[in-house]
Amino acid sequence: MKGFARAPRNDLRCESFLVYINPYEQPAESQEDLMEVGWIAAIIIGGLAGWFAEMIMKSNTGIFMNIVLGIVGAIVASWLFRQVGLTLPFNSALINYLITGFVGACILIFVGRLIRR
């Protein structure tokens, strides 16, 4: 992890990657600073997240709807995660975007099924 070697002995450490406090690192301004992804990457990752959600939720949507579900799902899930106080422990914005897109797309498919009934 970034900054592990230069941390003083009295910092808080945990062997798992979930808890790590380094007094030398500056906190991020906002969650959006950590989750910056370009438009092309958002389309590709959104498509993957929507496709994974389509497979898990057994819905029959096309590629365009998978991309929309993944991108909108990432927005919905990141808002929901912030409201709950949940942050993902991965350093890669792409992995975080994929996970939030997948969770959000599953939520959107579930809500869509509830509305159709």
Tell me whether residue 11 is in a domain: no
Tokens of 24: 């030398």
Q: Dihedral angle at the C-alpha atoms of 34, 54, 84, 92, nearest 10 degrees?
A: -20
pLDDT of residue 60: 85
Tens place of pLDDT per residue across the chain (117 aa)? 554 455 444 444 444 444 444 455 544 444 444 456 678 888 888 889 999 999 999 888 888 998 899 889 998 998 999 898 888 888 888 888 899 999 999 999 999 999 988
pLDDT of residue 101: 92
Tell me whether residue 65 is in a domain: yes
Please write the tens of the pLDDT for every residue from 47-63.
899 999 999 998 888 88
pLDDT of residue 49: 92
Tell me whether residue 4 is in a domain: no
Tell me whether residue 74 is in a domain: yes
pLDDT of residue 36: 63
Query: Domain range spanning residue 52?
Result: 35-116
pLDDT of residue 38: 78
Tell me whether residue 21 is in a domain: no
43 by Cβ neighbours in 10 Å (0-12 / 13-18 / 19+) ranks as middle
The total of structural domains in the chain comes to: 1
pLDDT of residue 37: 67
Tell me whether residue 9 is in a domain: no
Tell me whether residue 98 is in a domain: yes
Residue 93's identity, in one-letter code, is: A
pLDDT of residue 102: 93
pTM above 0.75, yes or no: no
Tell me whether residue 15 is in a domain: no
